[in-house]
Amino acid sequence: MWRRNRSSTLEPPPAAEVTANADSAGPEVKIHAFRIGFVGALGVLLAILLGGIVGQLGTVILYVALALFLALGLDPVVSWLQRRDIPRWLAILLVFVVVIGVFVGLIATLVPIVIEQTKILIEDWDSIVENIQNSDLVAWLNSLVGGDAIQQAISAGGDWLADPDNLGALTGGILAVGAGIAGGFTGATIVLILTLYFLASLASMKRYAGRFVPASSRSGFRSVSEEITGSVGRYVIGQLSLGALNGVLSLIFLSIIGAPAPILLAFIAFLASLVPLVGTLTGAIIISLVCLAASPVTALAAAIYYLIYMQVEAYVLSPRIMNRAVAVPGALVVIAAVAGGTLGGVLGALVAIPVAASLIIIVEKVVFPRQDVR
């Protein structure tokens, strides 16, 4: 017969009791509420301060990101020149001279055109509005709605835009426009200078970044970083090629149909094509609307041309030019472009696509292999 040994049973330790009475038998736990609250408040204030700093430096961060991606895009050209027995410093100098030459040439070509077209628009504004009112398109729209509501709306809009006070309020005033133009030139200069520095020190930047990775993972990090920089560089070169092709073809076609300021519109087509999918469509809409100043037939011809061009670009040109770059799904391109445009305007939309491409490479080369091992 087994007997229960009461002395061998383990009794639970006495529970700790939170109390303010020093004479209590249980252990005392002191809670420093003021210290916890003070440290938490400091953490919140520090987070707010860092958020404000990042917000203030948002434009600078965007310039740095754009310059880095431009450097990655120009690096394949520099490497190609190096393989032709040209020193790297000379290859960088040649590439940068060409880039600055193109930049200065575009400014020297477009600024007089913008000034001339603006002068013509101001002088012939009344006749432009009258031509639009008497066009066949407006007459057809009036027949649909009944009466002359469309003509009256165009006349009211023309009178409102003809008032300098209203136009100044719409654009923020002459000082705001001048500040925007000066800021654009300043930003372009900063981006060009940063691109030169990044292009000259790209190899050392990669080596320095590898020092932050443990030695056991350093070879894998270098492999992934080389693939990311190579893919982003090819992506930038491919997108610039698509934009240049769209700009040249737009210049030829718009000159044939008699569109107003074809060089300026072709430059708009080039800039819009730098943002995939949504950029070409946006540029086509803007150019077609501007062509209404010439005639509805001209605008219709431009709209048909860009409708055909977008199909050719999506199914013929883009796959051939971008076949070596990383493939970014169309839905992700749209999301990245919209998110980048919301955060940083046009520059943010341009930078967002290479960022999405880099994230795809990281997921495919780092995240997925780790998940497959587990």
Positions in the chain short of pLDDT 70: 1-31, 121, 124-125, 128-129, 132, 135-137, 145-151, 154, 157-182, 276-277, 321-331, 333-334, 344-347, 374
DSSP 323: T
Whole-number Å distance between alpha carbons of 200 and 357: 24
Nearest-5° Cα angle at 287, 284 to 292: 125
Whole-number Å distance between alpha carbons of 201 and 195: 10
Amino acid identity for residue 81 in this structure: L
Break the chain into its structural domains and give their ranges: 60-200, 215-369
The residue among 299, 285, 292, 282 whose CA lies nearest residue 337 is: 282
Amino acid identity for residue 300 in this structure: L
Give the Å distances, CA to CA, from 248 to 69, 113, 264, 303, 369: 24, 17, 12, 17, 44
pLDDT attached to residue 329: 67
Nearest-5° Cα angle at 162, 157 to 164: 125
Cβ count within 10 A of residue 19: 13
Whole-number Å distance between alpha carbons of 212 and 218: 9
| 180 Cβ contact partners less than 8 Å away, ≥ 6 residues apart | 172
| Contact yes or no for 317/249 (Cβ under 8 A) | no
pLDDT attached to residue 2: 43
Amino acid identity for residue 282 in this structure: T
- Provide the token pair at 112: 């007089």
Give the Å distances, CA to CA, from 347 to 57, 58, 59: 15, 12, 10
| Contact yes or no for 255/332 (Cβ under 8 A) | no
| 327 Cβ contact partners less than 8 Å away, ≥ 6 residues apart | 360
Whole-number Å distance between alpha carbons of 246 and 280: 9
pLDDT attached to residue 253: 93
